[in-house]
Copies of this chain bind each other. A is one copy, B any other.
Amino acid sequence: MKSLLDDYRFFDPEESVRKTAYELYLNVKDIPILSPHGHVEARMLADNKPFPDPTELIIIPDHYIYRMLYSQGISLESLGVPTVDGTPVEKDHRKIWQVFGDNFYLFAGTPTGVWLAHEFVEVFGITETLNSKNAMNIYDQMLEKLKTKEFLPRTLFEKFNIEVLTTTDSPSDPLESHKRMKESGWSKRVIPCFRPDASVNINSAKWKDEIVGVSKVSGIDIHDYASYIKALENRREYFKAHGAVSTDQGVESPYAHKLSKIEADAIFQRALKGDTTEKDVAAFTANMLMEMARMSVDDGLVMQIHAGALRNHNRQVFDRFGLDKGGDIPIQTEYTRNMQEFLNEFGNNPNFKVVLFTLDETTYSRELAPIAGHYPAVKLGASWWFHDSIQGMTRYRQNVTETAGIYNTVGFTDDTRAFLSIPARHDLARRMDSNFLAGMVARHMITKEEAKSMGKALAYDLAKKAYNL
């Protein structure tokens, strides 16, 4: 695996591009990491306890990994993925690791393969490629290291050179871990992001619990739409007071449309009774995109929209294992018409910023780049999820840059649950951006000096500015 960590990895093989790419990469390689959107849990860093073992650290939290294994007929039970109802699953983490080793070849040519190579070599000093034979030996080596101080979460955080890490949190979250972290005297910046989905998805089985939770933490009794909005505003203030700079909404469609207060309240009342239609759900979500934008104008939190996943496509997996188990599948997504009301209301407002993410790459050149290349409030988020990869990043830059330039984008967002993959992902992004810029230098579209300044913007400045960090 060592050979995969070549200095020139991921660059265009053509000599002149490769050399320039490497030069540009060296220029940004050691800049601190800004991670303005992700899913690492604050508790891990608040507790700062040793990671129990390689399986717990690498396999269990990463749906990229067990999605692929599952696609080849390996059951989630055998991978130790916990069930919703507590039905027992494989508990022998060595056995699970062996399955992983047996099937590691499946990841060849995938971003997961690339990140894991980075993690094994750079973080653990493991240079052999994982396989059936060496799986247990590698497990033992890693286990040994995980017991040391060097592998405590905060130590790794510092080693990874992370300047800001953003977690993602529901309105009902009291942000205890964030508080605890601060109180511990640890000086690193770990900030929450306000993700209202649990409060907005009125068709979710857990919606009412969330509303009760928000009532409790806000001290505002939510009984109608007005009190609901007031409580959310209250929670945004709370998040802001605890360091938040942004919000994030995950929506199936980016359709936005303001309801009258009467209409919104009628749906809200039906939701309280558990009596909503599919139309209600769509209308409410569309309305909440408008409401959240309005609140952002007021409180200055940067709005993010992640659109286009049909969540829990595989009911069997969802019913047994719950959310985020690799069974979300993207759908066609439309921004031009769906967001017209939104953009006309807020897109020209100098006090507003919205960052758009997509899983439908056809929208890059057709809709998103033209929108970001015109509306002052809109910035484009990085290539996301299934497209957070060598080819995916390349397509993103190729399709977006000519219409939106680089200055209407916000740099890299890792969006990961896998703590160890953060440096691997940012390194990959910096390499791909360097390579993209080097390609333009080699084609005489930009000078090398311009490329250097653009490279720094992509690695650091744009994220810092976009998220007011």
Contact = CB atoms under 8 A, between A and B. Distances in A.
A152 interface: no
A196 to B, nearest CB: 25
A41 to B, nearest CB: 24
A48 interface: no
A390 B366 contact: no
Nearest to A69: B376
A375 interface: yes
Contacts of A390: 402, 443, 445
A3 B440 CA distance: 13
A314 B339 CA distance: 11
Given A71-B404, A336-B329, A367-B331, A375 B314 contact: yes
B367 A71 contact: no
A463 to B, nearest CB: 17
B10 A444 contact: yes
Given A108-B450, A405-B110, A440-B109, A314 B445 contact: no
A399 interface: yes
A392 interface: yes
Given A13-B442, A344-B315, A370-B329, A406 B109 contact: yes
A13 B111 CA distance: 26
Contacts of A330: 336, 366-367, 370
Interface string A399-411: 1011111111000
A406 B72 CA distance: 11
Interface stretch (A157-165, A226-234, A278-286, A355-363): A355-363
B366 A108 contact: no
Contacts of A412: none
A83 to B, nearest CB: 15
Interface in A314-368: 314-317, 326-332, 334, 336-337, 340, 343-344, 347-348, 350, 359-362, 365-367
A374 B73 CA distance: 9
A347 B334 CA distance: 28
The complex is assembled from copies of this chain, and their number is 3
Contacts of A453: 105
A67 B371 CA distance: 10
Interface residues of A, number: 94
Given A444-B8, A444-B10, A386 B403 contact: yes
A114 interface: yes
Contacts of A5: 444
Contacts of A10: 443-445
A372 interface: yes
A84 interface: no
Nearest to A389: B402
Interface in A383-399: 386-387, 389-392, 398-399
A362 B9 CA distance: 28
B405 A447 contact: no
Contact of A359 (B366, B374, B442): B366
B407 A445 contact: no
A4 interface: yes
A238 interface: no
A107 interface: yes
A329 B367 CA distance: 6
Contacts of A313: 336, 340, 343, 374
A105 B376 CA distance: 17
A45 to B, nearest CB: 30
Given A111-B402, A402-B111, A370 B386 contact: yes
In the complex, the 9 A-B pairs of residues with the closest C-beta atoms, listed nearest first: A9-B444, A13-B442, A6-B444, A389-B402, A73-B376, A329-B336, A391-B398, A330-B366, A331-B336
5 contacts: A9-B443, A9-B445, A10-B445, A110-B403, A329-B374
Given A390-B443, A392-B402, 7 more contacts: A109-B402, A109-B446, A310-B340, A331-B336, A365-B392, A391-B398, A391-B399
